[in-house]
DNA sequence: CGACTAAAAGCAAATTATTTGCGTTAGTGT
DNA sequence: ACACTAACGCAAATAATTTGCTTTTAGTCG
């Protein structure tokens, strides 16, 4: 099932999408996710269930759509004066958000929908890349050495995400800092 | 919903579980996963739907249960004479299996069920750890230097899995070998 | 061995979710 | 303003899920 990509702002479609998204956020904050159903969301949003089924296909797609929206960063990484501290702060915040209950649920929603709509997981990865690129560009402007964004993904982002998804214990703050440290040190040594 | 942990082998429960698992594998190989439903599985397995609902709760749990089973490695990593080549071969096979269509589907099934049953994702991670530990133990027996299993997970397994889950392009064979290389080299330098 | 027990399965009715056909409405372009 | 189209609402039809109750089965004990 396809979600329309370009919706004209202000149109009826946009209003329906907004009220449905809002209803989902509302309900997820109030109740267990397994108790959230499409008829419920439809009632809360003031639309008929068939509208949701036709636009999103099923609950998983809808949840993924909302989750991607919420995973989009709202601001560029803070400029702390050096690439290292920029990255440290960004990574700690990233780990915290993703390891939180809502964060984990959102990641799962996004991944679970990949079968039907391959774009979602890629979008999340894209957001991360953009954030890291900002840090890397700032480093370049300052004349600091800084590894490629892909290397940061491999050495810092991927371990954090793997631990969150597959391990019981999410990475501690110390572990995150250590990952950053190791990457920067390894880079110098090469 | 809980899946019984200790089922006496040969009992009725075991037979039902076996036939349901078999039915799921059968159907998944024949048709699109979105067309697989519990009533269908029940018919194929020769049980009533309510039996499946009571034992597994919902389709996601059942799929996850089957997926974990299939993700369990059937043999220890091959002994190739050196830890480095052991790891290279294991990592390449791991990346191939996980990046394949069925592999990705199984990972998603496992992750999607985590909300209800936290053990599944941990089990997969556990299998990986066991495999790597075998390689590490062999290295120790040979007197070779070899990094901690957790380091291998951070530096080799996590990047592979991240790329498979979030990126469009799964890691190439060359990339996997490079990850192994980088980890071993970095380890020596420290 | 044969009766007893508890767990799990079957069955069927009730509930709830999903799909679909068709009429209506709101935005878009001429 | 008028026609056109995409998206929505409504309601009937279909399919999935839940539930109460009965029956079967495997293990246990006298």
* Distance of C1' in C13 from CA in B49, Å: 15
Q: What is the pLDDT of residues B92-143, one digit of tens each?
A: 999 999 999 999 999 999 999 876 666 899 999 999 999 999 999 999 999 9
Contact between the CB of B3 and strand C at under 7 Å: no
Subunit contact B111:A115, Cβ cutoff 8 A: no
Asked if residue A149 lies in contact with residue A129, where contact means CB atoms within 8 angstroms, the answer is yes
CA nearest neighbour of A97 among A77, A122, A117: A77
Subunit contact A115:B34, Cβ cutoff 8 A: yes
Contact between the CB of A53 and strand C at under 7 Å: yes
CA nearest neighbour of A33 among A99, A109, A111, A139: A109
| B171: nearest CA partner in chain A | A154
Contact between the CB of A119 and strand D at under 7 Å: no
Report the topology of domain A70-189. Answer: Tetracycline Repressor; domain 2 (1.10.357)
What is the mean predicted confidence (pLDDT) over B150-170? 96
Report the topology of domain A12-57. Answer: Arc Repressor Mutant, subunit A (1.10.10)
Domain boundaries, chain B: 12-57, 72-189
Residues of A in contact with B179 (CB under 8 A): 154
Residues of B in contact with A126 (CB under 8 A): none
Looking at the predicted structure, is the pLDDT value of residue B189 above 80? Answer: no
Q: What is the pLDDT of residues A169-187, one digit of tens each?
A: 899 999 999 999 999 987 5
CA separation, residue A27 to residues A22, A110, B9, B121 (Å): 9, 18, 43, 26
Chain D nucleotides near the protein (CB, 7 A): 6-11, 15-20, 25-27
Whether B129 contacts chain A with CB within 8 A: no
Whether A155 contacts chain B with CB within 8 A: yes
Cα–Cα distance between B27 and B39 in angstroms, integer? 12
Whether A122 contacts chain B with CB within 8 A: yes
Looking at the predicted structure, is the pLDDT value of residue A7 above 80? Answer: no
Q: Do domains B12-57 and B72-189 have the same CATH topology?
A: no
Report the topology of domain B72-189. Answer: Tetracycline Repressor; domain 2 (1.10.357)
* DSSP character string of A84-130: HHHHHHHHHHHHHHHHSHHHHHHHHHHHHTTTT-THHHHHHHHHHHH
In this prediction, residue B180 carries a pLDDT of 97
């Amino acid at each position: 099932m396809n979600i329309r990509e370009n919706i004209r702002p202000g149109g009826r479609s946009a209003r329906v999408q907004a009220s449905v998204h809002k209803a989902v956020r509302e309900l997820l904050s109030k109740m267990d996710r397994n108790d959230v159903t499409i008829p419920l969301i439809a009632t809360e949003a003031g639309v008929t269930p068939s509208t949701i089924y036709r636009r999103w296909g099923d609950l998983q797609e809808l949840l993924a759509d909302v989750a991607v929206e919420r995973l989009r960063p709202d601001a560029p990484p803070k400029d702390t004066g050096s690439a290292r501290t920029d990255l440290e702060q960004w990574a700690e915040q990233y780990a915290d958000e993703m390891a939180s209950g809502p964060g984990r649920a959102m990641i799962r929603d996004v991944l679970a929908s990949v079968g039907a709509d391959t774009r979602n997981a890629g979008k999340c990865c894209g957001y991360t890349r953009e954030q890291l690129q900002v840090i890397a560009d700032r480093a370049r402007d300052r004349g600091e050495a800084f590894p490629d964004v892909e290397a940061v993904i491999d050495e810092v982002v991927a371990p954090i995400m793997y631990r969150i998804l597959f391990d019981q214990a999410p990475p501690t703050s110390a572990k995150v800092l250590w990952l950053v440290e190791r990457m920067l040190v390894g880079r110098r040594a090469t």
